[in-house]
Structures are given as structure tokens and as C-alpha cells.
Amino acid sequence: MRLAFYAPLKPPDHAVPSGDRRMGRLLIQAWESAGHEVEIASRLVSRDGEGSAERQREIAGQAAAERDRLRALYGARPAGERPRAWFTYHLYYKAPDWLGPELSRALSIPYLVAEASIAGKRARGPHAAGHAAAVAAVRAASRVFVINPADRECLEPVAASADRLVALPAFLDSAVYAGLAPRRPALRQALAERHGLDPGLPWLLAVGMMRPGDKLASYRMLGQALAGLLDLGWRLLVAGDGPARAEVEASLAPLGAGRLRYLGRLEAQDLARCYAAADLAVWPAVNEAYGMSLLEAQAAGLPVIAGAVGGVASIVADGQSGLLVPPGDVGAFAAATRALIEAPAQRAAMADAALAAAQRDHDIAGAARILDRALAEACRGRRAAG
């Protein structure tokens, strides 16, 4: 079946990497692995981060023109080459879907969304129009795939019916990480030689884009927490880059240059090898939805310490595949990190549990089955409704 795919916040082929772009690409891969043909319907970015009336007028004009373009495009195609369903990934009050609901009605096809969220407090104020559009999209959707379980509470009062909400655990392609855990000694030695690391010390790995806002806040909290652990021997490896690199480096500078290794932005396979070579993933996850890097770490057999925010607990099993601490609690984060640095046997057990959970509960094959089944149900429901 041909699907029209749209991501109003960031197209899946956007030049700037992020967890959002990564999940968009994975969703396309999951649909395709289920036997469907996916086309990116539009690259219109609907984000209005500031609540600007001028920006909203600009987006409205662009959206109207894009709807006209797509209606003409699909109308000119033979019936068999038109989309038979519309799928929108990640919509909320700052980046609502101004395309999918109307075009789905025009084409008489199911409208499906994933990772939608509703913030009731935005019903009034500068983002009121975006909030209303997000609510309308959720109400119009035949199925709403809930990736972050924390979103369910705000979606239930808005969705047309509770059975339209479909749990879709965050996922990845575990094949990318297959076989890395047994190669850990060799991968560790190679990384040690490349960056002048002592393989006998615990390596902590932090992965995150370096940009202002929540990512920078996570780096700052990480620096504060690790500053209380200077009595222990460890090294911090940092994978990521971005416009706030100078601020990130300043926040970590008190740890001492000898403890830090900046790896820069890494391609997926190189990053996977770093996960497999390290001892512990550390990320405060300030305001994260769920944290793709935390899932990637576990898929490579790396236990995690993270803040228990948003949907992180749906990825990291506290006490099994890692440790979760109260959001923003620097002391608790430091204590959890100390505990696992000093407990290599516990880290090893958590590594095994993390790998098993990623393969069992978060693989792309399972996601493809969930998506495919929900799409079939939505199509049957539309046919029954006439």
C-alpha cells in the first residue's frame, strides 16, 4: 500500500541529525519492511517556536499552497498510484499538521499520526491556533500511535475513541548493533588507541546534540554531577556537536581535560561501536520525550543512567538495564553514577539485560507488525463507514 508520509517538525531527510529525524527514518523503514511503499508527501516545516503571529500567517499561507499542490498532484495520478493512507509523525502545538487532516478527507483515506501530544495550557495565548490544530488532528485520526507513554493521558480526552490509541514502543533496527557485544574487547582497544584512553578505567559515554535549551541543560547537569566524582578513576567520552559546543565544553571543563574526550558527531555505525566499547551511558535527559540515544546504548549492550522524565522509563528498566533518578536531581545522578562505577559486576548484568530488552521489546520488526495491523484495521473501519 502506498502511504503519504509527513513530519511537520523536521523532515526525515533534514540535514541536521537529531533523535526526531532518526525516529522519522525508522518509521519509514518499518512501514517499508511491512511491505508498504512510502513517499514523503511534503517537507513543509510548520514549527512556530516563539508564538509569532507573523510566523503563523506565513505558515498558513505556505500550508494552503501546499495543500493545493498536493491535491493537484494526487488528482492527476491514476487511482492506483495515489496514497491510500496518510501518516504524520510528531505533531504538537508548536508544529501542528496543517496538511494531513484536510487532504485525507479529500482523498477519502485513513489519517494516522504518531507521537502526537496535547498541552492543554496552550489552548489560550500565542500558540492557541497551533494547539487547536493539534487537537483537531488527533480527533480526525483513525489511529494515534503512542510512542511516549507519558502522552497517553493528554491524548485520551481528545481522541475520538480510546481504541484509536495504539501503543508503539520506541524502536530501532537491532541489526545495526548485532554482534557488537562479543566484539567489545577489540572495539575497546581500538577506541583506546585512537583517543589515548586507559582501557582499565571505566568509560562513561554521553551522547547528545550540542544545542541551546534542553540539550545544553543536560550537559550542564552532567558536568555538575560528575564534578562530585573526581575521587574516582573514570573518563568521559562525549559524542555530539552543534552550535552550543563552546557552552558544553565550558560546563564540562571543571572535570579536567585529562578526563574528557570529545568524539564529535559520529555516523551511526561508528557511534554503535562507541556504545559497545563504553562501560556506562550517562545522560540527565532534561525534558526528553524518551531519548533515542538511551535506546541505542542498550541495543549495544550498554547500561544507562538517566533522568526519569517523560517516556524514559518505558525504555530504561530501573534497576535492571540501568538506573533512573528524579528529574533534575544532580545529587541523585551523581550517587547512581558512583554506585555503578564501583560495581562492575552489576554493570555487566545490566548490560546483558539491556541488550535482551532492546532485542525483545524495541526492535523494528515488532514495530512493523504493530503499524501494519493498525493500518489494516483503519482501512477496514473506513470501508465499513462507507
Residues 131-166: pLDDT tens digits? 999 999 999 999 999 999 999 999 999 998 889 999
Residue 319 reports pLDDT greater than 70: yes
Domains by residue range for the chain, with CATH: 2-171+363-385 (3.40.50.2000), 174-361 (3.40.50.2000)
Helix-, strand-, coil-residue percentages of the chain, each rounded to 5 = 50, 15, 35
Q: Are 237 and 261 in contact (CB under 8 A)?
A: yes
Residue 386 reports pLDDT greater than 60: no
* Mean local confidence (pLDDT), 87-116: 97
What's the confidence (pLDDT) of residue 385? 66
Q: Indicate the pTM of the whole model.
A: 0.92
Alpha-carbon distance values, 220 to 29, 183, 233, 340 (Å): 34, 33, 21, 21
Residue 289 reports pLDDT greater than 90: no
Query: Grid coordinates standing for 71?
Result: 491535491
pLDDT digits (tens, 9 = 90+) for 347-375: 999 999 999 999 999 999 999 999 999 99
pLDDT band at 54 (very low <50, low <70, confident <90, very high): very high
Residue 231 reports pLDDT greater than 70: yes
Residue 60 reports pLDDT greater than 90: yes
Residue 12 reports pLDDT greater than 70: yes
Residue 99 reports pLDDT greater than 60: yes
Residue 266 reports pLDDT greater than 80: yes
DSSP assignments along 182-224, one per residue = GGHHHHHHHHHHHHT--TTS-EEEEE----TTHHHHHHHHHHH
pLDDT band at 82 (very low <50, low <70, confident <90, very high): very high
* Mean local confidence (pLDDT), 93-104: 97
> Cβ atoms within 10 A of the Cβ of 271, count?
21
Distance between CA atoms of residues 102 and 117, nearest Å: 19
| Residue-averaged pLDDT of the chain | 95
What's the confidence (pLDDT) of residue 178? 86
- Supply φ then ψ for residue 282, to 5 degrees: -125, 120
Residue 121 reports pLDDT greater than 80: yes
> Cβ atoms within 10 A of the Cβ of 269, count?
10
pLDDT band at 382 (very low <50, low <70, confident <90, very high): confident
